[in-house]
Copies of this chain bind each other. A is one copy, B any other.
C-alpha cells in the first residue's frame, strides 16, 4: 500500500486569510518545520479554484471571514476541483453555527485562531495523513448532530447482486460525487471507479450515472 506519501515530501500548504499578520505569522512559523511548506498565501479566495488546481496543495488553511467569497464557499469550490486537498478552517470564535456548514462544504479540520502554534502544526500533519483534528467541543457538536440524524438507513433486499465495492461506488454516486471524488474517498484510482461503474451499469441495465442513481433510489439499493 503506497497511499501514504513519502516523508521526504513536505506537506504543501496554502493559506487564505485576509489578515496579513496571520499570513505572515504562519508562514514564518512553518519555516521552522521541515515537513511543512507554505507554497502560497492569499488575502481572499477569489481564484481559489484556479489556485488549487495549479498549486495542488495538500492542505489549505482557510479563514472563515474573508471579503468576497467566504471560507465556507471557498472550501466547497476547492474540494470540488481537488477532492484530495484537505481544508482546515480557521475560525475567529468558537462559532458553532459555522461548524456544520464547514463540514458540509468538505472541511476536515476546525481550528480557533487563538490556538497554540503546536496545535496548528499538528492539525496540518493530521489532516495530511487522513485524520481529523478537532477539539472536544467541536467533536461533541458534530457527534450529537450526527447521532440525531442517524436514522436507520440500512440497505434492504435487492433484486440485483452488486458486490460490496460496487455498492459503495453506487452510494457515492447517489451523493452526487464525481469519479474523482469517489476515487479519493475510496482511495482507489479513477480508472478503478470506471471499472466498477461499468459493472454497475451492466447489472442495473443503465447507460449513465443519472440513470444508475435513479434506479438505485427506486430499488432502494441505498
- Residue positions of A touching B, CB distance < 8 A: 80, 100, 103-104, 106, 108, 126, 130-137, 139-140, 142-154, 173-176, 178, 185, 206-211, 213-214, 217
Contact = CB atoms under 8 A, between A and B. Distances in A.
Contact of A103 (B106, B150, B206): B150
Contacts of A214: 174-176, 213
16 contacts: A80-B207, A103-B143, A104-B154, A131-B137, A132-B142, A133-B136, A134-B143, A142-B142, A142-B143, A142-B146, A145-B146, A146-B149, A149-B150, A174-B214, A175-B214, A209-B210
B108 A143 contact: yes
Contact of A151 (B104, B142, B145, B211): B104
A175 B152 contact: yes
A54 B142 CA distance: 31
A25 to B, nearest CB: 24
A211 B178 CA distance: 10
A108 B213 contact: no
A100 B130 CA distance: 18
Given A132-B139, A140-B132, A152-B175, A106 B147 contact: yes
A80 to B, nearest CB: 7
Contacts of A130: 137, 140
